[in-house]
Structure 1
Amino acid sequence: MDRTEELIRRSQDGDKAARETLIEENLGLIHHVVKRFLGRGVEAEDLFQIGAVGLVKAVDRFDLSFGVRFSTYAVPMIAGEIKRFLRDDSMIKVSRSLKELAVKAARLREQLLMERGEEPGVDELARRLKVEPEELVQAMDSSIEVESLQKVICQGSSEGVSLMERVEQGHDEQEELLRRMLLEELLSSLEPRERRLIVLRFFYDRTQTQVAMELGMSQVQVSRLEKKILSALKEKM
């Protein structure tokens, strides 16, 4: 039994000192998760405090029989706590400046696409809009993420159902937790560029051409790399 497992066992047996030590030694996990949620109208310090609640829950609920590392279990718990806070307080939103930038970029992209018949690159769009490429990518990603949560995915005889509503209606905490743990484990095994490609393609529903534009690659290169990544992930599942 390693040090972390021993601390977990002692903590769950009522050892307050072990519990505090375990929490202190894993605060880095909160910092890691908080980075994903910056720029959404909530201060990093506030997100950290909410994430700490998730970490404490992970410490109290972790079962050594899960057969996974504590960090693998704790990260989705921390992220889930922050997501619930943002959702429940209606704070999943993009700052006005980022939203305006995303709109300008979309209009410029359409204009250049019509004029030249080919997708403009992120660097060119950023240069024309006089912003850093990183800022432009953040604006585009944030805009798509918020839109996708509210997008109507099921039209019925009355009102449509948004993706967020569908997820909440069919929510199963245990099953969701296991999916998150597996997903976190698989994505963490990828290189940064590979991870971004998969996220853009299958979480944001970007086309290979759009992904190529954002990653500075050709569509053919994206297609080949995507097949390679999916094949590797399939072997790990």
Structure 2
Amino acid sequence: MTSELTAAEAELVSEVEVAGLPSVDDPTKVAPKDARALTKTFLDRLTELEEGTHEYQYVRNTLIELNLSLVRYAARRFRNRSVEMEDIIQVGTIGLIKAIDRFDLSREVEFTTFAVPYIVGEIKRFFRDTSWAVHVPRRLQELRIDLAKANEELFQRFDRSPTTTELAEHLKLSEEEVVEGLVASNGYLTTSLDAPADHEAGGASRVTTYADRFGDVDPAMEIVENLHALKPLVGELDERDRRILQMRFGEELTQSEIGAELGVSQMHVSRLLTKSLTRLRRGLLAE
């Protein structure tokens, strides 16, 4: 928000003075005490002006510049965030403008008391809508803040990190709700798998990425999963069919050798194997 008046507004200064308003050369340099008094005067005049006129715009802009110190005061609460302070002040100024447009003199409330919640609310909304790497419900976003405060307070009290039970008791929540909030907090910041990660190897430091630390898929895992899925299906076969499967795939006998063992033809063994394997395949696909 610039402190310089436009040419049109500068031409209107004399008109404003005639209208009973004091001239303010640089509103941003007015002392806070004087700014409060001037703010009330300008707010009184703003209610009498027609919106959209040059005079109305001049008075409104002056009010914004007079109260930029309120925005800077509120923005200091968020100075530890990973956002430039200038950006936070710009967002807070939007809240200030909303407060000016919605302020009602009949409420007999100090403008400062009315405006600060608007400014802080606008900044919080900005962080809620833009800072989370993964979108989570607003309830969980607010719970993350409560958990952070509770964790800091209990750490000071116990000189250690609090347990889930202690956090739940402190916040008067269930342990399930606390766990849900802690898990959701992981969505506030994310790191690319291609981000570099220092890794010590052979006494020398080499730069790797997080993706390098992931293991490959073990092909044996698929075999284990299939065996676990097949076990109950094989149990449903009769004893002869299970015996044939054992000889064919466990003992690796040929169909002719199986037929000689059971006293049946090789063709009959082939039909029995086909029937059993088809049944097992259907069972796996159904699962």
Query: RCO greater where, 1 or 2, for CA within 8 Å and sep 6 or more?
Result: 1
Larger Rg: 2
Superposed pair shares fold, TM > 0.5: no
TM-score, scaled relative to structure 2: 0.34
TM-score, scaled relative to structure 1: 0.40
